[in-house]
Amino acid sequence: DDLVGMDNLVANTAYLRAQQIDRTELRKQRLTMTLPKPRRCSAQQAAVGQKYESLCEQQPIGKKLFQQFLLASKPQYAAATMFLEELNKWSFAEDQTREKLQQHILTEFCQPASKCFISYLRGEAAEILHHLSNKNFDEEQMDKIREATKDFLKGKPFLEYLQSSFFYRFLQWKEFEKQKITDKYFYEFRTLGRGGFGEVCAVQVKHTGQMYACKKLNKRRLKKKGGERLALLEKQILEKINSLFIINLAYAYDNQTHLCLVMDLMNGGDLKFHIYNLGKRGIRMDRVIYYTAQITTGILHLHSMNIVYRDMKPENVLLDGKGQCRLSDLGLAVELPMGKTICQKVSAGTTGYMAPEILRQDIYEMVAARLPFKDFREKVQNDEVTRRTLEDKCKFEHKDFDAPTKDLINRFLKKKVENRLGCKGEDPRKQAFFQSINLHRLEAGLVEPPWVPKSNVVYAKDTNEFKDVSEEVDIQLNHKDENFFQEFSTGAVSIQWQKEMIESGVFDELNSHQMNGQSCEPRWK
């Protein structure tokens, strides 16, 4: 009725408005924030337990501070980091700008007379540099020089960094990162979906304005249904992944009643919604190709970590505000023990999407708005769908199927695993179907989405459709449960949290507050 519609409107307005926050107002509120002092034990932990790759490349704040150190200390160190930066730009540039960047690199870094000449190279890399032509270089030459530059930085510069005030600053950020996370850390907005153990709602970090989705798992319901182990597994897999094509986890915490997973907010809706609920059924071909390339890249990333996804279907592919997609719901994913291969028999998933260990029927469904072995709204037993999946040939009656699409789907739907595309280690993205996509740029998130969600539309069902009707679970929680909840509630996830600090401007602000205040000399040397 009208009141219900009103509730939904109010919830949507608050949710949309939160996404257009006033950054200056937030900055004012942050003026009094300062970084904590690192405790000695945690400082040693960070210094001893970790390697160059983690400290100076993978962790975004670590990377920034190491760069700042290099720029501020010696000309050769500064040249090395600037060179890597330019090389990176060159590597991902489109053809027109690529040539210009190459010329720039040659004149700025590769001539003995230039100010930033990279004179630290030795041996083979120095030879290559010496023989570079004035006009161009290739990927292979630059790979060697890039590696040699990293080897250089890993040596003396890295050791000097560990003794510097920049590393002390890093330890302060690590201390901040360890803060306890509670409900008070977030504002909460409307429900976006409902899962097996509770709702998923939009939240916003109070001091940064960053929006996330929070998946809540009801503790009692979890215990009653024996879902604890799976919930922990989902959390542990999520926190390992850092990919543009898979939902990333930013925080894991708990309150009195729920375990909470705080993840990338995907406010563009899921693909099922886009296939069936927006007027014309099906999705335009350029979008199908784009999403399929992103999904395949995500799957390949998981496989490279020995993780099998097992729940591929359109409702698990979510779009963000820019129109890029990610795989969500890793509740069925498993990590294979070393030695097992990806294509051994696994049984999980949803009927109609059988054997979903690699991408297959999604492309079909996006184009035809039906399943390959089950028509839209067809009433048919699961057994029959299973039989068709195992025995029938796939038919392509929809007019939008062209030759490369049919070919790709047929390869993905091969009945025998050993004949199926992607099962012998070959890259499915090399197929003709994907030829319009620059994969190198796609992997870096640099290919423009063919379709962008409208910023004033909420791509989710009305809030009243998510009303929780299940009754209270009559079950007691004990000491053992509490231990488990603590194992789950590890707080901020390093890489995602550090990204949030940088993107929201908090990183730059707190560093400059500190500079104006007390000095930040390291206290142990």
CB atoms within 10 A of CB 149: 21
- Residue 388 dihedral angles phi and psi, to the nearest 5°: -60, -40
In angstroms, how far is the first alpha carbon of the chain from the final one? Answer: 69
Q: Was 215 annotated as part of a binding site?
A: yes
Is 331 one of the binding residues for ligand ADP (CB under 6 A)?
yes
Which lies closer to Mg ion via its Cβ, residue 209 or residue 314? 314
Is 263 one of the binding residues for ligand ADP (CB under 6 A)?
yes
Q: Is 213 left (phi over 0), alpha (psi -120 to 50) or beta?
A: beta
Which lies closer to Mg ion via its Cβ, residue 17 or residue 225? 225
Name which of 152, 154, 140, 138 is nearest 54 in CA terms: 154
The binding site for Mg ion (CB under 5 A) comprises 329, 331
Contact of residue 200 among Mg ion, ligand ADP, none (CB under 5-8 Å per partner type): ligand ADP
- The identity of residue 326, as a single letter, is R
d(CA 116, CA 505): 30
**Cβ-closest residue to Mg ion?**
331
SS3 sequence of 291-342? HHHHHHHHHHHHHHCCEECCCCCHHHEEECCCCCEEECCHHHCEECCCCCCC
SS3 sequence of 76-102? HHHHHHHHHHHHHHHHHCCHHHHHHHH
| Residue 328 beta carbon to ligand ADP: minimum distance, rounded to whole angstroms | 5
Stretch that binds ligand ADP, among 79-87, 130-138, 261-269, 420-428 (CB under 6 A): 261-269
Is 298 one of the binding residues for ligand ADP (CB under 6 A)?
no
Is 196 one of the binding residues for ligand ADP (CB under 6 A)?
yes
| Residue 332 beta carbon to ligand ADP: minimum distance, rounded to whole angstroms | 8
Are the C-beta atoms of 217 and 231 separated by less than 8 Å?
yes
Contact of residue 52 among Mg ion, ligand ADP, none (CB under 5-8 Å per partner type): none
d(CA 247, CA 263): 7
Is 329 one of the binding residues for ligand ADP (CB under 6 A)?
yes
Place of tokens 């870094």: 109
| Residue 15 beta carbon to Mg ion: minimum distance, rounded to whole angstroms | 21
Interacting residue with ligand ADP among 192, 249, 260, 501 (CB under 6 A): 192
Is 349 one of the binding residues for ligand ADP (CB under 6 A)?
no
Which lies closer to ligand ADP via its Cβ, residue 59 or residue 316? 316
266 to each of 192, 206, 213, 390, 494, how far by Cα in Å?
A: 10, 19, 7, 34, 20
Q: Which of 254, 264, 270, 311 is catalytic?
A: 311
Which lies closer to ligand ADP via its Cβ, residue 318 or residue 363? 318
Rounded (10°) angle between helices 75-92 and 139-154: 140
Active site residue 270: no
| Residue 201 beta carbon to ligand ADP: minimum distance, rounded to whole angstroms | 9
Which lies closer to ligand ADP via its Cβ, residue 81 or residue 463? 463
Interacting residue with ligand ADP among 129, 211, 241, 265 (CB under 6 A): 265
Which lies closer to ligand ADP via its Cβ, residue 200 or residue 437? 200
Query: Token pair for residue 246?
Result: 């898979």
Is 266 one of the binding residues for ligand ADP (CB under 6 A)?
yes
| Residue 200 beta carbon to ligand ADP: minimum distance, rounded to whole angstroms | 3
Residue 98's Cα: distance from chain center in Å?
27
| Contact positions vs ligand ADP (CB under 6 A) | 192-197, 200, 213, 215, 247, 263-266, 270, 315, 318, 328-329, 331
Active site amino acids: 311
Residues belonging to the binding site for ATP are 215
Residues belonging to the binding site are 215
